Amino acid sequence: GENVEQHPSTLSVQEGDSAVIKCTYSDSASNYFPWYKQELGKRPQLIIDIRSNVGEKKDQRIAVTLNKTAKHFSLHITETQPEDSAVYFCAAVGWNTGFQKLVFGTGTRLLVSP
């Protein structure tokens, strides 16, 4: 089945700096890669996603890049703000008996210091 690895586990940056989180996946059949932001005790919130037919997608300060050949994708946050502090999860769709199910990475705790 699908296996998703995520690095780093923790990331501390100063306000205004950029943050990059990287993930790799194992199943070459995966075709959908979302990123979620989760604040303490709350549900994960989708912040950006990318499908396998594109290599990059951007939404204001957030961008995601995908390298299908290498099977890795990355989240880029520019001009970080303290409210960006949270745990971020990448995920990939693994196919299982005809149903799609998301497999999550281990998470990255981002801390943005003022």
**Which residues of the shown chain bind another protein in the complex (CB under 8 A)?**
32, 34, 41-46, 49, 51, 89, 93, 96-97, 99-107, 109
Q: How far is the CB of 6 from another protein (least distance, A)?
A: 8
Query: Between residues 16 and 32, which has the closer beta carbon with respect to another protein?
Result: 32
Angle subtended at Cα 16 by Cα 63 and Cα 43, rounded to the nearest 5 degrees: 55
Both tokens assigned to 81: 């703000």
Give the side-chain half-sphere CA count within 13 A for 28. 2
Residue 60 or 99: the one with the smaller Cβ distance to another protein is: 99
| Max Cα–Cα distance, the chain, nearest Å | 47
CA nearest 90: which of 40, 34, 27? 34
Residue 14 or 53 having the CB closest to another protein: 53
**How near is the Cβ of 47 to another protein at its closest, in Å?**
11
- Least Å distance, CB 79 to another protein, is 25
